[in-house]
Amino acid sequence: MTRTVRIVGVPMDLGADRRGVDMGPSAIRYAGLADQLEATGLTCIDDGDVAVPRPEERDPDAAQPTDGQAKYLAETETVTDRVADAVSDAVSDGQLPLVLGGDHSIAIGSVAGAADADDLGILWFDAHGDFNTPQTTPSGNVHGMSLAAILGIGPFEDEPWAVTPEIDPANVALVGLRDLDDEEKRLIRESDVTAYTMSDVDDRGVTDVVDDALSVATEGTDGVHVSLDMDWLDPTEAPGVGTPVRGGVSYREAHVAMEYVADVGDQLRSFELVEVNPILDQHNQTAELGCELVASAFGKRIL
């Protein structure tokens, strides 16, 4: 990989139900992200952080959809528009945007910006489906609705800020699922997305699953967006996340998955690392691991 990487921080915690994930971008930078990427020969530009409203100054229920619940909906729209602009600018300049979260609601903006002009596939590494809607969510937290919002499912069909029509669900692959709500399961089954659970990883191995998932995301598309939620890993490896779920991938499984991502080369349009919560972490372990995984995805190898 020879492109310049543009880092965009999004200190967003409005989409989650636990504070602290807004400090994720700082923790990731402190863990040495730029140094690790530059050690692989890449050039990094840090654009700083997108401005995010403070939750203490906002009413989470001030703007709700006509059907269902979605906390801080107006603020989420504002932030995702800003993220989309930052990502679109990087892509237009021939750079590779690397978005640092923050909670997973920021993916709405990341994908919108990356898909601004071309067809885009999505590879979603996550313990959760993020496929709830305001009608199905048990919590109202938008970070559990981000992929549904991107695809314009349910009430999100009428939210132009959340819909990216260039995304064909047939080019969306979710990897490592192991914690889904009942209605969320139904929506995933009824959609054209391809979902691989941790049972699939256990049965087939992570390399086979990720290889298939990349084929799904890249077939007939102009590029792929990779979204890496750190709760995809087992909590013993990544304790600093807001919604940990036992039974995730191991350290080596995660690295080899990212090495497969690196093999797509220039088809990698954008990348985001989300849900690092330093308040819940141990000695910045999760942020440091996140840096390592990004480096593997961007071409770092053992030998």
User: Could you tell me which of 202, 191, 76, 81 has the C-alpha nearest to residue 129?
Assistant: 191
For the question of residue 128 being annotated catalytic, the response is yes
Of 104, 225, 253, 281, the catalytic one is: 104
Active site residue 143: yes
Using a 10 angstrom Cβ sphere, with 0-12 exposed, 13-18 middle and 19 or more buried, the burial of residue 58 is: middle
Q: Annotated binding residues for Mn(2+), as ranges?
A: 104, 126, 128, 130, 229, 231
Interatomic CA distance for residues 54 and 52, integer angstroms: 6
Decide if 130 is catalytic: yes
Q: In the annotation, is 275 catalytic?
A: yes
C-alpha distance from residue 192 to each of 123, 153, 169, 186 (Å):
14, 12, 5, 12
Catalytic residue among 13, 103, 128, 255: 128
Spot the catalytic one: 200, 234, 272, 275: 275
Known catalytic residue at 281: no
Q: Which of 282, 274, 190, 185 is nearest to 230 (CA)?
A: 274
Catalytic residue among 49, 75, 130, 281: 130
229: annotated active-site residue: yes
Asked whether the beta carbons of 35 and 107 are under 8 A apart, the reply is no
Q: Which residues are annotated as a binding site?
A: 104, 126, 128, 130, 229, 231
Active-site option among 22, 200, 229, 253: 229
- Catalytic annotation, pick one of 13, 143, 255, 292: 143
Closest by CA to 184, choosing from 200, 172, 195, 168, is 195
- Give phi and psi for 53, each to the nearest 5: -60, 150
Give yes or no: 255 in active site.
no
Quote the CA–CA distance of 36 and 40 in Å, as a whole number: 7
Our answer to whether residue 200 is catalytic in this structure is no
Instruction: Name the active-site residue from 159, 231, 253, 259.
Output: 231
| CA-to-CA separations, 151 to 111, 147, 196, 239, in angstroms, rounded | 10, 6, 18, 30
In the set 22, 49, 103, 126, the catalytic residue is 126
Closest CA to 167 of 93, 222, 103: 222
Q: Indicate the residue type of 224.
A: V
The half-sphere exposure of 266 on its side-chain side, counting CA atoms within 13 A, is: 4
159/191 Cα distance (integer angstroms): 19
Active site residues: 104, 126, 128, 130, 143, 229, 231, 275
